Amino acid sequence: MGVYTVLDDKKVDETVAADLKHIIERVTARTHIHSIILGGGFGRGEGSVLISQGRIQAVNDYDLFVIISDDDKTDFRSMENNIVGEIGIRLLDLIPIKYFNLTTLPPTQFNYDLKYGGRHLWGENLIDLIPQYKEGYVDPESGKTLLLNRLICAIEAYSEKFEQQCMTTEGKFFLVNQTGKVVSACVEALLIKRGKYHHSYQERRDIFKAEFPQEKDLQKLNERATEFKLRPSTLIDFDAIEYWKKAIHEYGKVISEYFELGSTQPGEKIWKALKRKILVTNQPIERVELLLLLYLEASFFRRRRILKMAKKELKDIIKTSFQTTGWESLRERTACLWHELYH
């Protein structure tokens, strides 16, 4: 294994190290900080890189935790946007944490991964200041947050146009990569609920098999998601659209189970919850995303009502009327709005 990925390739490590060096130099030049910790897959040695025609590029974003002074008011969002263009990656998350808060961080998935999967990069090594969490235990609310956060991955990657025309290599790759995030979220949420969480993709895969032997379909999807996460490739020799559709089906089941909604069928559970507004989401736009996914497996007679409700929810967010009525148009508008709000 390499330093940042499972690939035993010196050039990969050198490329990632160069990216991180550039980010560190830019961040430390702008503000006084105590420490920088590398999180996410790259922190755990399971980062995703794509090697194509001799070029090595990070597939997913770099997650860097920046430990700042208690009175620091640096705008890290604008810094992220500048650095992304400089090193040629899709996303960068610079996540500020107040130094004073390190010793009292609660057992969220975010903090659990930081503690046990983080890698010290620069400044003081402060990882030991983070509390020792009980093995496998993450606050169950983190599972809800995770499932809802992955709605955008499901929505933005797929298009109805894929059914009528040949997908580009880039489109297929993006669809498979984002679908993998949805599948991983399902597995992680179920492990969190059972108190068997682990910060490593590979360990989670094995634990999930042992803990949920009945979930054969989700296990198969997770095998593919984990392998693609660790060794991504543009040479995709399986049906990416079918992979996405199966993942969305499992996603609905896990959301229904995790939120403990009452009814027989997962789709019915979510629909009733959305109508009664008892499914609590982090952001209003998540209601629209849920409705758009629910539409895909709903009966012909219910689909019109779902789209009408999704359109109304979207209008309430953007505070203006629009003529969009079809699922694809609503999906495109929702994905664009999400990026406007959060990046």
Q: What CA–CA distance (Å, rounded) separates 314 from 292?
A: 11
If DSSP codes are grouped into helix, strand and coil, which group holds residue 90?
coil
**Residue 8 CB: number of other CB atoms within 10 A?**
9
Instruction: Output the furthest CA–CA distance in the chain (Å, rounded).
Output: 60
Domains of the chain plus CATH, in order, are: 10-124 (3.30.460.10), 141-342 (no CATH)
Q: What was the pLDDT predicted at 292?
A: 95
Task: Give alpha helix (H) positions in 197-239.
Answer: 201-211, 216-230
Q: At what angle do helices 141-149 and 169-194 cross, to 10 degrees?
A: 170
Q: How far apart are CA 315 and CA 313, in angstroms?
A: 5
Q: CA 103, 280, 192, 202: dihedral to nearest 10 degrees?
A: -100
Using only the alpha carbons of the chain, give its radius of gyration: 20
- pTM confidence score: 0.92
Handedness of CA 316, 321, 327, 329 (dihedral sign): negative
Q: Which residues are 95's β-sheet partners?
A: 65
Tell which residue, 53, 61, 50, has the closest CA to residue 87.
Answer: 61
What pLDDT does 262 receive?
Answer: 64
Of 93, 324, 45, whose CA–CA distance to 202 is shortest?
Answer: 45
Q: Which contacts (CB < 8 Å, 24+ apart) does range 12-19 have?
A: 12/49, 12/51, 12/56, 15/49, 15/56, 15/57, 16/42, 16/47, 16/49, 16/58, 19/58, 19/62, 19/87, 19/89
pLDDT at 3 (0 to 100): 95
pLDDT at residue number 282:
65
Q: How far is CA 230 from each of CA 46, 197, 208, 298, rounded to the nearest angstrom? A: 6, 19, 17, 34
- Residues 250 and 194: their CA atoms lie apart, in Å, by 18
Q: From the CB of residue 339, how many other CB atoms can be counted at a distance below 10 Å?
A: 10
Task: From 152, 141, 216, select the one nearest 181 (Cα to Cα).
Answer: 152
Segment-wise mean pLDDT, segments of 10 residues, the chain, 343 residues:
93 95 91 92 95 86 93 85 86 93 96 97 96 97 95 95 91 96 98 97 97 98 97 95 96 92 76 79 86 90 90 90 86 93 79
Which residue is it, tokens 């599972």? 143
Q: What is the pLDDT of residue 53?
A: 78
pLDDT at res. 109: 97
